[in-house]
């Protein structure tokens, strides 16, 4: 039932959102230049979120569980009539009681083992992900590129679903920051993106390897090697041990931040392998004190190696004749020198 109601709501909002910028109210603390102005005005125009009597919107105010229930309830057009609830700390006098009861009945929100709802608690980004996933009945999942998210977290699958639906980008340092408290601007943006495709965002290309997998390569001059993730603290770098077929091993590190994807050795030098912005023609000095220019020469290739077929592959060409191919969530999949393959990804397990 919830799915059909939501489809109706989305179709109505998509139609009614035409001309949002001219119909929306103005608030003294919400300039047009705000990053999420359009998303907030979209929800305000469709009466999903409102401002305050003093003509403020308070975009940076943190969202409580009760406020989240109201926004979700209005999104799903649930019954918001104030009434007693199953929760020990939410009576009919609580302004959000109707929406809390309705959202709980719909399975969108839940209470705590002690029978409370804790309406005044501030929600975090991971809690918002759970709420958004349940509200819109998200089911499809993508790989998580964020370095601070793990399968042991309750929000893990829900964040994967938000990624699939292009509802979140995370932060430039490749983190999601799950414990960060959510503001009205941020929560409005998640809802607006789920309701209207015009607000959706593309996930930045992340070239870090998945720590849950082992990567097997063949090097022309080094034979077969395998990369195994090491769950050790290395100052915000992902640490991998590389095992060679002759029994020796060494360690490498990788990281992705606002500059781009970096690869190197622990507590030592590194090279900027793919620099932001990831655009054809972008050139940078990749490594060392002497100029060693890297250039993106393609950004949407489909490349097949023995490990499989990879899409959205970025081709990076260097002035010394090397060409490297990087796939999202995998990193290097192939390297050539003057047209000859010198490294190739053979298997992922």
Q: Contact 66/37 with Cβ under 8 angstroms? A: no
DSSP string, 34-68: STTHHHHHHHHHTTSS---TTS---TTSBPBHHHH
Tokens of 63: 């969202």
Please tell me the total number of residues recorded for the chain in this structure. Answer: 349
Q: Interior CA angle at 11 toward 7 and 16, to 5°?
A: 145
- Rounded Cα–Cα distance for residues 64 and 122 (Å): 4
- Rounded Cα–Cα distance for residues 349 and 347 (Å): 7
pLDDT of residue 150: 86
Parse the chain into domains and list their residue ranges: 2-63+122-199, 215-348
Q: Contact 320/295 with Cβ under 8 angstroms? A: no
- Rounded Cα–Cα distance for residues 215 and 242 (Å): 9
Q: Contact 129/191 with Cβ under 8 angstroms? A: no
pLDDT of residue 2: 52
Residuewise pLDDT in 10s, the chain (349 residues) = 454 445 444 444 544 443 444 344 689 999 999 999 999 999 999 999 999 999 999 999 999 999 999 999 999 999 999 999 999 999 999 999 999 999 999 999 999 999 999 999 999 999 999 999 999 999 998 877 787 888 889 999 999 999 889 999 888 777 899 999 999 999 999 999 999 999 998 777 789 898 889 999 999 988 999 999 987 767 778 899 999 999 999 999 998 887 889 999 988 888 999 998 889 999 998 776 656 799 999 999 999 999 999 999 999 999 889 999 999 889 999 999 999 999 999 999 9
């Amino acid at each position: 039932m919830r799915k059909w109601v939501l489809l109706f709501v989305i179709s109505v909002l998509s139609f009614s959102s035409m001309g949002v910028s001219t119909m929306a109210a103005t608030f003294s603390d919400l300039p047009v230049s705000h990053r999420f102005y359009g998303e907030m005005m979209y929800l305000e125009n469709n009466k999903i979120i409102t401002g305050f009597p003093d003509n403020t919107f308070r975009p940076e105010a943190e969202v409580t569980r009760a406020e989240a229930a109201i926004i979700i309830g209005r999104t799903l057009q649930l019954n918001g009539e104030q009434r007693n609830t199953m929760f020990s700390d939410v009576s009919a006098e609580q302004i959000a009681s109707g929406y809390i009861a309705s959202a709980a009945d719909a399975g969108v929100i839940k209470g705590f083992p002690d029978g409370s709802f804790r309406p005044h608690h501030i929600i975090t980004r991971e809690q918002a992900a759970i709420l958004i996933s349940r509200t819109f009945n998200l089911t499809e999942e993508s790989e998580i590129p964020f370095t601070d998210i793990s399968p042991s977290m309750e929000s893990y699958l829900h964040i994967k679903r938000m990624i699939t639906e292009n509802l979140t980008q995370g932060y430039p340092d490749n983190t999601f920051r799950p414990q960060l408290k959510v503001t009205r601007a941020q929560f409005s943006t998640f809802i607006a993106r789920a309701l209207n495709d015009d607000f959706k965002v593309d996930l930045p290309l992340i070239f870090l390897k998945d720590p849950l997998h082992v990567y097997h390569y063949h090097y022309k001059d080094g034979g077969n090697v395998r990369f195994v993730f090491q769950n050790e603290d290395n100052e915000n770098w992902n640490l991998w041990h590389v095992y060679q077929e002759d029994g020796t091993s060494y360690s490498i590190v990788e990281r992705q931040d606002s500059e781009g994807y970096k690869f190197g050795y622990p507590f030592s030098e590194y090279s900027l392998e793919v620099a932001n912005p990831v655009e054809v023609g972008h050139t940078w000095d990749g490594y060392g004190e002497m100029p060693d220019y890297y250039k993106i020469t393609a950004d949407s290739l489909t490349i097949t190696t023995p490990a499989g077929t990879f899409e959205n592959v970025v081709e990076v060409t260097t002035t010394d004749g090397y060409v490297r191919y990087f796939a999202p969530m995998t990193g290097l999949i192939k390297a050539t020198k003057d047209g000859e393959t010198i490294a190739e990804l053979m298997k992922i397990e």
